[in-house]
Chain A
Amino acid sequence: MRYIFALIAWLCPLVGLAQEWEDQNAFGPASATSTLRVLSSTDTALFAPIIEDFLRGRPDVSVEYFVTGTAQIDQVFRAAPDDFDVVISSAMDLQLKLVNDGYSVPVANLSQPDWAQWRNSLFAFTTEPATIVINRAAFAPGTVPQTRQELIAAMRARPEVFRGKVGTYDVRASGLGYLFATQDARASETFWRLMEVMGGLDARLYCCSGAMIDDLAAGKLMVAYNVLGSYVAARDDVADTLEIVLPSDFPTIMMRTAFVSSRTGEEESAAAFVRHLVEVQTGPRNRDVFPLPPLSATLDSSGQAVISLEPALMTYLDPLKRRTFIKEWSSAVIQ
């Protein structure tokens, strides 16, 4: 009976949501008695080594890995919290709100510094800066802008080069893009001027970093703003054409986070999975085996440069705030 139910439970969302996943993979033996369903915004290629490492020595566990956008994760999970055991996303604000709203359970025996966890339920496992990625073709060597100010100046100086060839996240569609934008807006007014300049150059808007990198590599874009540098670094084919710039005026650093669903039926395995994930990402390891950037590799130990895991992240998720922000953002970018 259990297997039939498990099968139905396994098939239902598959049938209902099959066409919505960006990617979907199963790991581990088909004979496994417990199946972890992981909802994630991280590309399978980056995550697969960690899952395979986790499954090693656990012959009775298998993992189903579903990939979708950060905003989509929030919707899907809130609609059916029973269907997933572990939720992984780069949208820290949405993750924090899910935990705040009681969708998570604390993970036992996992002690992390205060800046890298919230309520012992939400655990950060990477630190990834938002970067400016440029196509080397658009800049003479030595003229690559290092700050947002310099980027604004460069685009104003040569609008003919950049018109229609600048890109950034569509904050309306991407949870991570919205997080980056709101944190930038908090940090400096420069963000709004940058948006206005990009809007003036008919900026192209994207759902995800991957698409921006593809267009950069193909030469459809010369500059992309707030791209995950880690995604660029993970691709071997673009090293010659693209250059990653960490803006030196102020950093915006995101942490991927994971939590165990409070409605999980596999609490032990799910907690073990999160523990394993954090251990792999914080311990000494081989970058070739685990391509995800580790936690705090680029930071001082206080973690002050990262976006803090705190209730204030819920501020811009407020519908009134979001409406106001999107309105301002739209009037700057979509002119």
Chain B
Amino acid sequence: MISQPRSWLLLTACGLTGLAGLGGCDESETPDAAGVQLIIGRTGFGPREFSYPRAAVLDRRGRLYVVDKAARIQCFTLEGEFVLGWRTPEWEAGKPTGLGVGPDGRVYAADTHYSRVVMFEPDGTLVGQFGTRGRGPGEFLLPTDVAVDVEGFVYVAEYGGNDRVSRFSPDLRYEFSFGRPGAGPGELQRPQSLLVDHDGTLWVADACNHRVCHFERDGGFIDAFGESGTGLGQMRFPYGIDQLSDGTLIVVEYGNNRLQRFDRAGRSLGTWGGPGRRPGELAYPWALAAGPQDRVFVVDSGNNRIQVVTVFKPGIWDTRRPAPVLAVR
């Protein structure tokens, strides 16, 4: 990096001679160029460090919770300052892959390999857990995500043979479930992320069917959009979904290493990102969380960081049909 006075001097020199490109004049790409406002974290096991983060959720107070593959849940402010962190009760068999937060601020973790949901107070105190391994009502195989609606109803998605969404009452009594393994209407193949819409309906990132499904609160199937591919409107393994203030949906694609924005009818409004290590690029992204002022917190798992994107910055959405990437960068 060229320090400020040096750059100034150099620019003066360039101006004097009228010669462009005397070296050092090319401006390096700043994070802001792709709408990345902030990058939180780096590789490691300390505070504000991640080892393959896989889920994130924002609460109403503006606290961001992130869980990584070291089974650590870390809490940050919206500006990325570390607040506190804790570990899930057990992690030998596997680590959580989904987080949800209730209207009361309670944090729910989909403890995937323990076939259960564990709950914490915002200060990290373990409150309890529910669910056991099985295929029966209220049981789970591999739970992936938890979403809680404004009334406190808890929705849990799972895969591994069940591939469904189960609903629990605010006092955590099992109510019903919907979806079954398959690619037909109302069927799911690894529902990886849940979103309760502003209107109370439910959106599901149906990862292995490469689509997004829309359900009523009672589990009634409304519609689905998306197909496998790299083009606009196509998806590869959508792993995370959230909603922006204008009602549009934003999806993170694990397979395409990008974000894609859709209107509620499923029309693509553009893509953002691509495989890479630089700001504005993603590696195996697992999740996202939309925050105030339409800042989206993207869990850039393979890069061990959270990228905060101001999604309404003009010009950052690519609405062209992207050419397939043939080589790994």
Partners in one complex: no
Binding site for A on B (CB under 8 A): none
Binding site for B on A (CB under 8 A): none
